[in-house]
Amino acid sequence: MKISTSRFGKIEICKDEIISFEEGLLGFGDYHKFVILNTEDGSPFRWLQCVDDGNLAFVIIEPLNFMFEYDVEISDSDQTFVGLERAEDVVLYVIVSIPANPSDMTANLQGPVVINAANHKGRQIISSNSRHSVKVRILDEMEKRAAKLKEVNDSLNPDNKEGES
């Protein structure tokens, strides 16, 4: 089917790709159907494009693309809501905000989007982890992630400490 969008013009989407958010996202309760659009090759950013209204779309990213770790508890009610039965069906995204200075872009870690890949049902959940705020600077997290990765790498290859990077 074809949909008209304000950002990408007319696009062809496949019905099977539609993710249904029964309650919509917080503050957008009237919009229930979305598709995920990839951006450029290799870019971790994607669009969560609304099918009901082509003007509505969010930039999303998988947290592990910029964070070393992201632990969120999916409550029983959230699991039931999206019909989640197996942990491997969880697809997790966070919504990105980009201010005038793009290096200050932030991710909303407190309100991640959970999608059940098995049935394409989604819900924006609320993380009960007090370290997850709605505005976490993505570049800060990337620095922490790089440092952690280096630490892990160094501990695995103690001889290469002076190595290339």
Partner 1 sequence: MLVLTRKINEKIIIGDDVEIVLVDIGKDQVKIGINAPRSVKVHRWEVYEEIQKENREAAKITSLDPLKSLPADILNKFGKKDNKAKK
Residue 146 contacts by C-beta under 8 Å, 6 or more apart in sequence? none
The correct pick among 11, 13, 18, 91 for binding partner 1 (CB under 8 A) is: 91
The correct pick among 11, 20, 54, 97 for binding partner 1 (CB under 8 A) is: 97
Residue 92 contacts by C-beta under 8 Å, 6 or more apart in sequence? 62, 63, 70, 72, 112, 113, 114, 115
Q: Is 74 in the site for partner 1 (CB under 8 A)?
A: no
The total number of residues written for the chain in this structure: 165
Question: CA dist 113 to 26, 86, 104, 128, Å?
Answer: 10, 17, 21, 14
Nearer to partner 1 (CB atom), residue 73 or residue 158: 73
The correct pick among 9, 12, 27, 164 for binding partner 1 (CB under 8 A) is: 27
Nearer to partner 1 (CB atom), residue 55 or residue 155: 55
SS percent in the chain: helix, strand, coil, step 5: 25, 30, 45
DSSP 7: T
* x/- map, 30-69, partner 1, by CB under 8 A: ------x-xx--xxxxx---------xxxx--x-xxx---
Q: Which residues bind partner 1 (CB under 8 A)?
A: 6-7, 25-28, 36, 38-39, 42-46, 56-59, 62, 64-66, 75-77, 80, 91, 95-98, 102-103, 105, 108, 110-111, 117, 124, 126, 134-135, 139, 142, 145-146
